[in-house]
Amino acid sequence: MKIYIDGKHYDREDARISVFDHGLLYGDGVFEGIRIYNGKVFRLRDHIGRLYDSARALALEIPMKETEMQEAVLETVRINRKENGYIRLVVTRGEGTLGLDPGSCAKPSIIIIVDDIQLYPKEYYKKGIRLVTASTRRIPPECLDPRIKSLNYLNNILAKIEARRAGALEAVMLNTQGFVTECTADNIFIVKGGRILTPDPAQGALDGVTKRTVSELARERGIKYAESTVTLYDLYAADEIFITGTGAEVMPVVEIDGRKIGDGRPGPLTSALIEDFGKLVAV
């Protein structure tokens, strides 16, 4: 494995960053998780665009043009000869002092890791998964805009711990007003009356790249799609539910908080979108 750090590629055992890097000390930085399918990087331009938007929102100036970053990612994939896998692209504030002041960091650090991805068992896509609602609330947009994909994921990690302790794969996170936002690492969708609804980013949901892709696939099928305010009642009363993410892709949900969704099996619309997504990434 060769890992890119600030313009050079290192063997895994030699890949190092400073203990004074503010990404480590304070979670000060941004990242993207990107899939590789059949030797092609999926939606690279969208991911890079979101990375730079997140950085601008944090007043973090990335010392590369977007086109240069795209090429650095592609080069690292080529060097690692990875046909199918996962890319973790990280930009930290860089090395500084022990104080919070980002002005002590002279230059951001750029890290690109290309590795295998641990896929979910195929049975999950056929039988569906169950979710629980976490007591941990999503950080409100007034405090940190959810569209910023920052290195500080402690909020999501606490909710993930709740899911694991409940024996569930994922947990639904609510905002401080009690509306549904997303899961710990995935966007969530409901199907009701042939229409798809998903929480609006203004409620605290990440604007996921896979989410955007699925919305396009739904519209191509002529399915009505909208971002809106979603409640737990909407989840419990849904005909179908599915989640999306870089790792999960399109995953059916058949139970939430002990309540069966629909007939307790992946619904027809969800199954159709799983098939459509599979065809898209296979090209």
**Nearest-CA neighbor of 170 among 159, 158, 155?**
159
* pLDDT beyond 90 at 123: yes
pLDDT score at 118: 81
Across 239-247, average pLDDT: 96
The whole-angstrom distance between residue 185's C-alpha and the CA centroid of its chain comes to: 5
Please write the tens of the pLDDT for every residue from 34-65.
999 999 999 999 999 999 999 999 999 999 99
Residue in the block written with tokens 């930085």: 29
Selecting among 82, 149, 160, 211, the annotated active-site residue is: 149
Using a 10 angstrom Cβ sphere, with 0-12 exposed, 13-18 middle and 19 or more buried, the burial of residue 114 is buried
Residue in the block written with tokens 């046909």: 83
| pLDDT bucket at 120, cuts 50 / 70 / 90 | confident
CB contact at 8 A, 97 and 21: no
Looking at the DSSP bridge assignments, the partners of residue 188 are 243
Give the chain's mean pLDDT. 96
Region of 242 on the Ramachandran plot (φ > 0 left; ψ -120 to 50 alpha; else beta): beta
* pLDDT beyond 90 at 283: no
Across 205-226, average pLDDT: 94
d(CA 229, CA 134): 18
HSE on the CB side for 95, CA within 13 Å? 6
* C-alpha dist (Å) from residue 203 to 145, 199, 246: 10, 7, 21
pLDDT score at 188: 98
Residue in the block written with tokens 């890319």: 87
* C-alpha dist (Å) from residue 27 to 22, 30, 154: 7, 8, 10
Residue in the block written with tokens 């179908």: 240
**Could you confirm whether 82 is annotated as catalytic?**
no
Residue in the block written with tokens 């059949």: 38
pTM of structure = 0.94
CB contact at 8 A, 133 and 174: yes
**Comparing 105-114, 117-126, 160-169, 263-272, which segment has the lowest mean pLDDT?**
117-126
CB contact at 8 A, 95 and 16: no
HSE on the CB side for 260, CA within 13 Å? 6
Domains and CATH numbers, the chain: 2-115 (3.30.470.10), 122-282 (3.20.10.10)
What percentage of the chain has pLDDT greater than the value 90? 93
Please write the tens of the pLDDT for every residue from 57-109.
999 999 999 999 999 999 999 999 999 999 999 999 999 999 999 999 999 99
pLDDT score at 210: 96
* E-state strands within the chain: 2-5, 8-11, 29-37, 40-41, 85-92, 109-115, 129-133, 170-174, 180-183, 187-192, 195-199, 225-228, 240-245, 249-256, 259-260
